[in-house]
Amino acid sequence: MSLDSLNIDDLAENFSLFDDWEDRYRYIIDLGRKMPPLPDADKVQANKVEGCMSQVWLTHAVEAGAAEPRLFFFADSDAHIVKGLLAVLLILFSGKTAQQILAIDADAELARLELDQHISPNRRNGVTSVVRTIRALAAQSVEAAAS
């Protein structure tokens, strides 16, 4: 199953199939392995997400020509579990309009997956930084469309 075909409901259902968190961590890492790697040319300071313990890069593209363009996000990390958490965030946000992205309650969705209780405070801070960056890019897209 590709990441493009998954949504947050699928993730919640898949998580419920695992009896313990070791299996869920393996699943998260596997999600990260299914993400296409970012080209080295995109692994530059301008794309680096600050506030993450591991190295995290995030880029995006805006679908052109649509009445309500969709934003697509691409990410990578040097840590397997972080790359998996990035995959979860891309499933949550990528392919949606800026308005949809801004309406998503990421904390609630991550709590639904129980990730809020099962990742370290440092990783949680990194996830928050990525979410903040995604929301800022969506807000910029809304501002650009309004002008």
Active-site residues, by number, are: 52
Beta-sheet pairing, 96-97 with 56-62? unpaired
Q: Count the residues in the chain.
A: 147
Helices (H), the chain: 8-16, 21-34, 80-93, 98-103, 106-112, 115-118, 121-146
**At which residue do the structure tokens 């075909």 appear?**
5
